[in-house]
Amino acid sequence: MSEPLHATAYAGWVAVITGGAGGIGQATAARLIERGITCLLVDIDAAALERAAQALGPRALTHCADLGGTQALAELAARVDREFGRLDLLVNNVGVTDTRPFEQRSIESIVREMQINLLMPMALTHALLPRLQAAADGRVITTVSLGGLFPLPETTVYSASKFGLRGAMLCLGLDEARLGVRFSIVNPSATETPMLMREAITGGNQLQFMDPPQTAAEVAACILRSLDEPVLERYVRGSESWLVRLAMLVPNRLARLIPLLQRSAAKGHRRYLDSLQQRGLIERQGDAWRLTADRRAEP
């Protein structure tokens, strides 16, 4: 009996995963490694990278860097050339958010969030594009967000960055015949990672908790599906995508629609906090919540 396609299709492939020490990054790396792909995990947190590498095994290598500058991008590209001599897949996965109201944020924090969420994936794609073009079947898969399709109150900077990232990757995807690289977007909704837990306890927008958060494994499965069955855009939860796109047909009604959803969202937020507490992932500290020690160390 011949081997399944997935057992041989990616033999020898090399992937770079940004945000590789985080929940989605690690879950994605685990699935890629199962396919025989060597993964270079890129993250700013050296300790988290070390834990991820230990959990994933010898096919997971690490690169600790802040990719905010051209020198760091050049160093990463040089390492790919030096250590692997090829690159087949780039997974743009890194992302951050800030729950402070827009008017209370510093200009520096706004610029930093835009840099990490939008400019860094674009610059890294540009820096690594020649290596991907040299591959037999070069791919770029970018984790965007439903926040790149649907605006929510209190998410001004995050939405701006994700709207922009989605637009950039759609444009590149439409140009893939000329570029010789295939581009795919994956749009998760709220995903249970330490970042989401921090949002839940520090005043993040409650509307994202209307439904139970999806898992990092579900997002990773969607990324793998985009690898196996390339399309320009894919949603982790199809039902949510239809609701979002339908609402955006009447953007002038959003100011009326969103308040109608707040009550359900507040209940969902309370249920999620209860769930985190029952699982020992958060604890009370005075009048506030905090992540327990074993979660605070994670990205």
Residues 223-278: tens digit of each pLDDT: 999 999 999 999 998 777 777 888 888 888 888 888 887 788 788 878 888 888 88
Contact 157, 105 (CB under 8 A): yes
The pLDDT assigned to 92 comes to: 97
Contacts of 65 (CB under 8 A, 6+ apart): 42, 44, 72, 75, 76
Contact 236, 187 (CB under 8 A): yes
- In whole angstroms, how far apart are CA 196 and each of 85, 109, 189, 203, 255? 36, 18, 11, 11, 25
Residue 290 pLDDT more than 90? no
Phi and psi dihedrals of 266, rounded to 5? Answer: -65, -40
pLDDT > 70 in the chain, percent: 95
Instruction: Place 4 in a pLDDT band, splitting at 50, 70 and 90.
Output: very low
More confident of the two residues 152 and 56: 56
Instruction: Place 295 in a pLDDT band, splitting at 50, 70 and 90.
Output: very low
CA angle 246/247/253 to nearest 5° reads: 140
Residue 1 pLDDT more than 60? no
More confident of the two residues 279 and 2: 279
Q: Stretch 209-224: mean pLDDT, rounded?
A: 89
CA angle 115/117/118 to nearest 5° reads: 70
Q: Which residue's entry shows tokens 């950039």?
A: 168
Which CATH architecture fits 14-295? 3-Layer(aba) Sandwich (3.40)
Contacts of 277 (CB under 8 A, 6+ apart): 283
- In whole angstroms, how far apart are CA 270 and each of 176, 233, 293? 44, 32, 22
The pLDDT assigned to 7 comes to: 52
* CA nearest neighbour of 182 among 228, 125, 137, 145: 137
pLDDT in tens, 26-45: 999 999 999 999 999 999 99
d(CA 73, CA 33): 24
User: How high is the mean pLDDT of the chain?
Assistant: 89
Question: How many CB atoms lie under 10 A from the CB of residue 187?
Answer: 25
Q: Stretch 106-135: mean pLDDT, rounded?
A: 96
The pLDDT assigned to 293 comes to: 60
Contact 276, 284 (CB under 8 A): no
The CA-to-CA distance between both ends of the chain, in Å, stands at: 43
d(CA 246, CA 237): 15
pLDDT in tens, 129-169: 999 999 999 999 999 998 888 888 778 999 999 999 999 99
Pick from 98-112, 159-173, 199-213, 230-244: least confident: 199-213
Instruction: Place 298 in a pLDDT band, splitting at 50, 70 and 90.
Output: very low
